[in-house]
Structure 1
Amino acid sequence: MNRILPLLRTARASDRPAVSRRLFLTGTAACLFGTGLSAPAGAAFRIADLRGSLDAPDLGLEPDRSDDQTSAFQRALNTAVQNGKALFLPAGSYPVANLRLPSGTLIVGVPGRTRLIYQGGGGVLASAEGVSDISLSGLVFDGGNRSIGDQADGLLDFSSVTGLTMTDCAVSGSAKSALVLTRSSGAIRNCRFSGAAEAGIWSREATGLSLTDNVVEDCAAGGIWIHRWSDGEDGTLVSGNRVERIASRHGGTGQWGNGINVFRAHGVVISGNRIADCAFSAIRANSGSNVQIIGNSCLRSGEVGIYSEFAFEGAIVANNIVDGATTGISIANFLDGGRMAVVSGNIVRNLSSIGPYPAEIAGFGIGISVEADTTVTGNVVEAAPQFGLMLGWGPYLRNVVASQNVLRACGTGIAVTVVEEAGSAVLQGNIIEASRDKAIAGYRWTDQVTQDLAEASDWAHLAISGNIVR
């Protein structure tokens, strides 16, 4: 081998085979993608070139025309798909409406500068149904707050689409939701959704979806909705997103105004998101079993920071920060079948006793509230105005362990129900410092009925030991 290499190095340039620039770039891309490395967002043009693209102006679709370009756009797209090529859109504005995306659609624009402007007329900007392999990159979809037809719920409306990919896109100014996905699979990543009159992203009955590294902001009713019409496995991954300034235009007591909302969807993973300034919850899982809510930052929520409620079985709420809310974390509704959770390693602080509606049940200002088949371990709760931990509600308590938590400067460190028929609870090894009322107290519904239970308890369903009170 050592003898051969010098010969290779000294070979004349004229003896080497010619290599085209396109072939070289194609080989380079194959190496990148073959090794699992993705091209950067700014390489959208090169990606289009590698796969073979058709330029929109060559197909009669020109940017910055004042007249409606829907027909020209649809013809150009259909031609690109029929030829198995990408459609490249130069920077500029394209006034369009009711585009239909066929299987194999690949559209590439200039990020932030290629704008598809919705012309209204009672339809949508773009839709697809029963197709596969759609890729949209570097496009701005501008709804202009124009009316969307009754047959659709979003400016972009995709149904039964397999393998949808959206990257480096922006969707703004929708008169309904920005992006609606029904029974669809794929990946939405590094996109921005803003100014929607409903939700930024609304997924229904997903079939394998990931939402990663997106920005969802300034939406009037919700940030990201993961919903199902009936209980079922969903498995959507929601990771690394920024969700900010979500309002509740429809009012209510938490149905709207949440940063990330799961409804009847099982197996959803919500991790590493930053969620701030939501009218109600940062994360609200309603009837979603086996949900994992891990490592999120939840700031300035108007109601409960993190909620797992109603008919669910199985929730992990771990390693989150809840800074600013009326209740930090709530695992609720054992009456309706809500049970089985682990609440561990969370920091909860800066809670308020004033909520967005008149206080109900136990009221506001609670650090962590749980009811059934749940462990609460290794959390830190500071300055909860009412309770640091609330264990059970009336008879709705079963198999709860609260251990090794730090509860500091709360109204009462731990409130535990002592209503007849309440199930068992273990309160062990917690540090309770500077409580304004009692360290541990028993409640019948809203009434405190015991002396401080930090040292001993005459209640057979409670095992209280090893707590440090200061």
Structure 2
Amino acid sequence: MLARRSFLFAAAALALPASARAATLDAASFGLKPGAAEDQTRAMQRAVETAAGSRMPLRLAPGAYKVGEIRMPAGTQVIGVRGATRLVFQGGTACLSAQRADMVTLSGLVVEGNGRPLPDKRGLIVLEHGRGVRVEDCEIAGSSHHGMVLEGIDGLVRGNTVSGVAKAAIVALDSRGLTVTQNTIRSAANNGILVWRTIAGDDGTIVEGNRIEEIGARDGGSGQNGNAINVYRAGNVTVTGNRIRGAAFSAVRANGAANVAITGNNCASLGEVAIYVEFGFEGAVVANNIIDGAALGIVATNFNHGGRLANIHGNIIRNLVNRRPAGTDPNDGAGIGISAEADAAISANVIEGAPTAGIQLGWGQYMRDLSVTANVIKGAPVGIAVSVVPGAGQALIADNLVQGARIGAVVGMEWKKPVTGDMAREGVGRFAQLSVSGNRVR
């Protein structure tokens, strides 16, 4: 078997240009032996420090290496053979860590946690305060806490697979220009990708083209866990083109996030709100997403906490259910396609199979300046539910097509209670703050 591994590594090395082979250090020259029974932490630590000091990549042959925590200096580059070079974690605060992670590169490594204990807020890979970071083509599995933790990082996390972690797959805290793309995340017990900031402010992380599946909420709560992508306090974040299937709560949850763009995601089998923009957010574009299966489709809420300013456009929402998961307020609504409260335009969406309402506007007195135009709503008992509680603000509801709304196409609500007839047919009556016109009802 060792001979075969040596042959494979030699073949992989020979596939590189001669200049690239000459510009790397072979881990074997430091005594690192793939498949050795003993712990090789000391040998690998020495190899990493020497390679970083020489500004040369360290090459690891295929095979398993038993190691504890390897502390990487700035400039460390560790390169393995994708899917074949395995670091088997023996214990520590991380398997690979860097406190000053400038220009750290990890490529082609499999990091196996085997459930060994990790401290709170740590992962198998922990990179802090670095620019030009690259983590590519790696696999992370079996972490007792997070998979990968990135704090204060500018760089690229691409093409990795993270599975079987007890907390979150990828944590990005206080990022400085981070792109998380083309990764595969499966079976994370609490969350998929977290984009958080210690204090609310500009972040700019791009989360693009990832495949995220089977996200649980093992630690419970009312939405702190169970999210495929969670943006918290981070401004100017883009979440686009991700394929998300099977999350206990949300596909994308943005809490207190300013100027967040959530576009072109394909989301299925969600337990609560598929795309949730909440609690003091200011500025959100939610456009061109596909949602198939959730309690609610898209929610832009918490005007009572300052949540406002959204454009919800061009989404397809279908197959909603009239129940939320355990841990949420039993009085909260479900079976609603789109819900918004303040300073929002809702246009050109297609909603099919919402068992409560296609679109809900406002909640009690919390409603201001809503425009609802050119949407198609099919098979909801109430097409558009609009708050008419005293103190609720104005709304424009025009040129929508509503089919099969047995209670009414446009209905005035006092919280959950219908209090008007169908205003699309009968007019707005005494509710002069509403403009309802040109809607096609059948």
TM over 0.5: yes
Aligned to 2:190: 221
Correspondence 1:128 to 2:108: no
Q: Among residues 104, 112, 135, which one is paired with 2:83 in the alignment?
A: 112
Residue identity in the other structure for 1:232: G
Q: Distance in 1 between matches of 2:248 and 2:396?
A: 35
Q: Among residues 122, 126, 144, which one is paired with 1:153 in the alignment?
A: 122
Q: Among residues 144, 152, 159, which one is paired with 1:175 in the alignment?
A: 144
Correspondence 1:321 to 2:290: yes
Encode CA deviations 1:383-426: one digit per residue, 9 max, x unaligned: 10000000000011111000000000012100000001111100
Q: Distance in 2 between matches of 1:418 and 1:50?
A: 72
Preserved CA contact (<8 Å) 1:44 1:110: no
Preserved CA contact (<8 Å) 2:407 2:422: no
- The Cα shift of 1:439 comes to 1.1
Q: Among residues 387, 394, 403, which one is paired with 2:357 in the alignment?
A: 387
Aligned to 1:24: none
Q: What SS does the corresponding residue of 1:395 show, helix, strand or coil?
A: coil
Q: Distance in 2 between matches of 1:75 and 1:44?
A: 25
Residue identity in the other structure for 2:220: G
Q: Distance in 2 between matches of 1:83 and 1:335?
A: 57
Correspondence 1:245 to 2:217: no
Preserved CA contact (<8 Å) 1:320 1:345: yes
Count of aligned positions: 427
Aligned to 1:460: 432
Where does the alignment leave 5 or more consecutive residues of structure 1 unmatched? 1-41
Distance 1:351 1:305, change over 3 A: same
Preserved CA contact (<8 Å) 1:179 1:202: yes
Q: Distance in 2 between matches of 1:131 and 1:256?
A: 28
Encode CA deviations 1:351-390: one digit per residue, 9 max, x unaligned: 0002213654452100000010000000000010000000
Correspondence 1:207 to 2:173: no
Correspondence 1:398 to 2:368: yes
Q: What SS does the corresponding residue of 1:364 show, helix, strand or coil?
A: coil
Q: What SS does the corresponding residue of 1:454 show, helix, strand or coil?
A: helix
Q: Distance in 2 between matches of 1:147 and 1:50?
A: 37
Q: What SS does the corresponding residue of 2:258 show, helix, strand or coil?
A: coil
Matches within 5 A, 1:288-437: 288-357=257-326, 360-437=330-407
- The Cα shift of 1:79 comes to 1.7
Q: Distance in 2 between matches of 1:360 and 1:222?
A: 23
Q: What SS does the corresponding residue of 2:46 show, helix, strand or coil?
A: helix
Correspondence 1:439 to 2:406: no
Correspondence 1:137 to 2:104: no
Distance 1:51 1:342, change over 3 A: farther
Distance 1:44 1:292, change over 3 A: farther
Q: What SS does the corresponding residue of 2:304 show, helix, strand or coil?
A: helix
TM-score, L = length of structure 1: 0.89
Residue identity in the other structure for 2:84: R
- The Cα shift of 1:272 comes to 0.2
Aligned to 1:4: none
- Larger relative strand fraction: 2
Where does the alignment leave 5 or more consecutive residues of structure 2 unmatched? 1-11
Residue identity in the other structure for 1:73: M
Q: What SS does the corresponding residue of 1:248 show, helix, strand or coil?
A: coil
Q: Distance in 1 between matches of 2:432 and 2:172?
A: 47
Preserved CA contact (<8 Å) 1:197 1:221: yes
Preserved CA contact (<8 Å) 1:415 1:442: yes
Q: Distance in 1 between matches of 2:15 and 2:325?
A: 48
Preserved CA contact (<8 Å) 1:142 1:171: yes
Q: Distance in 1 between matches of 2:141 and 2:248?
A: 20
- The Cα shift of 1:43 comes to 9.1
Aligned to 1:162: 131
Q: Distance in 2 between matches of 1:359 and 1:435?
A: 27
- The Cα shift of 1:44 comes to 11
- The Cα shift of 1:103 comes to 1.3
Q: Distance in 2 between matches of 1:50 and 1:289?
A: 46
Aligned to 1:39: none
Q: Which runs of 4+ in 1 moved over 2 A?
A: 42-51, 357-362
Greater C-alpha radius of gyration = 1
Matches within 5 A, 1:183-198: 183-198=152-167
Aligned to 1:93: 64
Encode CA deviations 1:87-118: one digit per residue, 9 max, x unaligned: 11010001001101111111111100000010
Preserved CA contact (<8 Å) 1:51 1:85: no
Aligned to 1:9: none
- The Cα shift of 1:281 comes to 0.3
Residue identity in the other structure for 1:383: G
Aligned to 1:81: 52
Q: Distance in 2 between matches of 1:255 and 1:400?
A: 28
Distance 1:330 1:275, change over 3 A: same
Distance 1:392 1:309, change over 3 A: same
Residue identity in the other structure for 2:65: Y
Q: What SS does the corresponding residue of 1:75 show, helix, strand or coil?
A: helix
Aligned to 1:25: none
Residue identity in the other structure for 2:171: W
Residue identity in the other structure for 1:71: R
CA RMSD of aligned residues (A): 1.5
Q: Distance in 2 between matches of 1:461 and 1:155?
A: 56
Q: Distance in 2 between matches of 1:407 and 1:431?
A: 6
